Homo-oligomer: A and B are copies of this chain.
Amino acid sequence: MPNVMASEEQANSEVPQTLEGWYVLHEVYRLNWPAWRSLPADRQTALAREASDWSVSPVEPKRGDSAVYSVISQKGDLMWIHYRPTPDDINAVELSFRQLGIYEFLEPAYSYFSVIEVSLYEVMAIAMKRLADRGLKPGTPEHESAKAEEMERQKAHLSERLYRKIPTQHYVCFYPMNKRRGEQVNWYALPLAERRAMMRSHGTIGHKYHEIVTQVIAGSTGLDDWEWGVSLHSDDAVTFKKLVYEMRFDPASALYAEFGPFYLGIRTDAVGLEALLQGHLPTPP
């Protein structure tokens, strides 16, 4: 469990403080359908069963989570998402996957490595607002003792965000992104206060969609080719369009966001994956 109190002291620097949770791997593959379909029926069934067992077998809650999606368009056929405690655990998942019989029929199409992150500033702002809402004034003994309690609450809540399950909604939209470092328009050259004001306004839009879209933000500076990997989970795919389009007019995105490729997937369970590998999508629940 990260030490929130210790990190808090660094929160005045120009660099936003973050807390990190589980490591995340997105893996997209194309299926070589003709080769796959040329397999004898019993071999195909056995390999599909093996793949589906591997994909949806429950992960011990403290060890992360895994999920599989059917991908729309030629960008891929299947996408796996894995949450795990360490890079070594992620690498072990990869290695175990490469030993499956179906792997012979899969062609790598895209992957992304990141780590779930929570902004410490955002956490502190929530805690401070809760204290203020209770009428407590900073500097008073009541405030100090309430702050300690509040921090314990936030810690528990943080755990739920940093070490969470993969949201279970029907659709996922994944894309990597950067904050722009242009010659005139450069996020990293702005004062922290200006960045915070923009992120607050940006967060407001996310919050507006809060009940129908679950966002998982994972940082990847120094880990992969973009700075963040964003996963949106929703039961209504058009919401991805509405949300991302609305954010595009928000200054934090309008001026400063650079987007990588977008991957759209439909969540699949064991029965669904086996059906899909026989060429038909099961009726959505």
Contact = CB atoms under 8 A, between A and B. Distances in A.
A183 B183 contact: yes
A110 B225 CA distance: 14
Given A95-B276, A95-B279, A221-B244, A249 B74 contact: no
Interface in A1-49: 14-15, 18, 20, 25, 27, 30-31, 33-34, 37
Nearest to A31: B98
B262 A244 contact: no
A212 interface: no
B95 A72 contact: no
A263 to B, nearest CB: 9
Given A15-B245, A223-B264, A249-B14, A91 B74 contact: no
A15 to B, nearest CB: 5
A188 B281 contact: no
A83 interface: no
Given A241-B115, A244-B222, A279 B88 contact: no
Nearest to A113: B73
Contacts of A237: 86-87, 223
Contacts of A87: 72, 171, 237, 264, 266
Interface string A98-136: 110001100010111101000000000000000000000
Interface string A232-252: 100001101111111011010
Nearest to A93: B281
A33 B103 contact: yes
Contacts of A99: 33, 37, 279
Contacts of A27: 73-74
B241 A219 contact: yes
CB-based closest 3 A-B pairs: A222-B244, A188-B254, A74-B111
Interface of A: 14-15, 18, 20, 25, 27, 30-31, 33-34, 37, 70, 72-75, 86-88, 90-92, 94-96, 98-99, 103-104, 108, 110-113, 115, 171, 173, 181-186, 188-189, 219-225, 227, 232, 237-238, 240-246, 248-249, 251, 253-255, 257, 261-262, 264, 266, 276, 279-281, 284
27 contacts: A14-B249, A30-B108, A33-B99, A70-B95, A72-B87, A72-B94, A72-B113, A73-B111, A73-B112, A86-B237, A87-B237, A91-B266, A95-B276, A115-B241, A173-B222, A173-B223, A183-B183, A183-B185, A186-B254, A188-B249, A219-B245, A220-B241, A221-B244, A223-B240, A223-B241, A223-B262, A225-B261
